[in-house]
Amino acid sequence: MQVLGLNNVSKTYKNGTIAVQQANLSVREGDFVSFVGPSGCGKSTIFRMAAGLSAPTGGEIEILGGSPDEARKSNGIACVFQEATLLPWVSVRDNIALPLQLRKQPRKRQIEEAERVLHLVGLQDYAKALPRELSGGMKMRVSIARALVANPRILFMDEPFGALDEITRQTLQDELLSIRQKTERMTILFVTHNAFEAVYLSNRVMVMTPRPGRIAGEIRIDVPYPRGERFRAHPDFGRYVSEVSESLKH
Ligand SMILES: Nc1ncnc2c1ncn2[C@@H]1O[C@H](COP(=O)(O)OP(=O)(O)OP(=O)(O)O)[C@@H](O)[C@H]1O
């Protein structure tokens, strides 16, 4: 079942910058789709349009059977960005509960749901901590938990691990795949500069051209989940990474 469709989608900013030109894409439920491409090729712009945060100047976007704005308002989608953007003065649990609080859910439900996703990201012992007491990786886990708290069907992640060291990054990649296994049929769209990360996580890697951004091609990673260290060490992994890296040069 298609959950996201881009039909000739373009975006020209008011200053005349053509950020995205005629992007076409069909994402099926349960896909893990990564976008790779040079800096400034329009990856974030595509995301912002699909997530209803910015309007396209051409073409159509259908998401969860309606418009991006409808999907955002109905909690069907959630976003995670490179910066964790937590409220510094409230506890981890309340940061996570924020989307439910904004939708005026009963307090009891807010706490139950926040506790549920705290377990999912392994931070159950930090419910009462403040963000400043956490490491960068833990802050990102909180940010992911906050995105998951309202059970989105599509999760947009824009370079979520870009600011983390390599070891933390790999740990979080594994945690994300494990969350995905537990979260039935959640679809993930993921922006990264890193070919290794894209191959490890995704079943589809979309390669973008330099500005104006177009989706130049797709590389399918036909390796079943769950994936783990054995995949990272497998010759197929290196081959896929080379294929993605090569396609970025064209
Ligand atoms: N609000 C804006 N107004 C004008 N131009 C913009 C705006 N946002 C982005 N751009 C331009 O659009 C192009 C695409 O930007 P975008 O952030 O989508 O690229 P990106 O591929 O996500 O880049 P990066 O990998 O560096 O994060 C860039 O040339 C950028 O300067």
Angstrom distance (rounded) from CA 11 to CA 42: 9
Structural domain boundaries enclosing 244? 2-76+152-249
Ligand 1 atom, smallest distance to 159 CA: 27
Nearest to 215 by CA among 20, 14, 12, 18: 20
Residue nearest (by alpha carbon) to ligand 1 atom 25: 39
CATH of the domain at 64: 3.40.50.300
Residue of 250 and 139 predicted with greater confidence: 139
Name the amino acid, one letter, at 244. V
Once rounded to an integer, what is the mean pLDDT over residues 40-61? 93
Classify residue 147: in a domain, yes or no. Answer: no
Classify residue 96: in a domain, yes or no. Answer: no
Angstrom distance (rounded) from CA 167 to CA 177: 16
Classify residue 107: in a domain, yes or no. Answer: no
Once rounded to an integer, what is the mean pLDDT over residues 64-91? 91
**pLDDT for 91-144, tens place per residue?**
999 999 999 999 899 999 999 999 999 998 999 999 999 999 999 999 999 999
Ligand 1 atom, smallest distance to 11 CA: 12
Residue nearest (by alpha carbon) to ligand 1 atom 17: 44
**pLDDT at res. 183:** 83
Classify residue 63: in a domain, yes or no. Answer: yes
**pLDDT for 162-218, tens place per residue?**
989 999 999 999 999 999 988 878 999 999 999 999 999 999 999 998 878 889 999
Once rounded to an integer, what is the mean pLDDT over residues 238-249? 94
Classify residue 90: in a domain, yes or no. Answer: no
Question: Within 6 Å (CB) of ligand 1, which residues are found?
Answer: 13, 15, 17, 19, 37, 39-45, 211
Sign of CA dihedral 72, 28, 148, 202: negative
Residue nearest (by alpha carbon) to ligand 1 atom 11: 19
Classify residue 123: in a domain, yes or no. Answer: no
State the complex-level ipTM. 0.96
Axis crossing angle, helix 136-148 with helix 166-182, rounded to the nearest 10: 20
Query: Is 36 in contact with 192 (CB distance < 8 Å)?
Result: yes
Once rounded to an integer, what is the mean pLDDT over residues 55-82? 93
**pLDDT for 21-30, tens place per residue?**
999 999 999 9
Burial bucket for residue 168 (CB in 10 Å: 0-12, 13-18, 19+): middle
Residue nearest (by alpha carbon) to ligand 1 atom 26: 39
Ligand 1 atom, smallest distance to 213 CA: 14
* Test site for ligand 1: of 9, 15, 17, most ligand atoms within 8 A of the Cβ: 17
Classify residue 193: in a domain, yes or no. Answer: yes
Using alpha carbons, list the distances in angstroms from residue 237 to 200, 232, 234, 250: 8, 6, 5, 21
Integer Rg of the chain from CA: 18
**pLDDT for 150-164, tens place per residue?**
899 999 999 999 989
**pLDDT at res. 8:** 96
> If you write DSSP's letter for every residue of 79-135 in order, what string do you get?
EE-SS----TTS-HHHHHHHHHHHTT--HHHHHHHHHHHHHHTT-GGGTT--GGGS-
Instruction: Please state the domain count of the chain.
Output: 1
pLDDT reading at 1 higher than 80 = yes
**pLDDT at res. 73:** 85
Nearest to 4 by CA among 159, 165, 156, 207: 156
- 180 Cα: distance to centroid of ligand 1 (angstroms): 29
- pLDDT tier for residue 237 given thresholds of 50, 70 and 90: very high
Ligand 1 atom, smallest distance to 193 CA: 25
Classify residue 58: in a domain, yes or no. Answer: yes
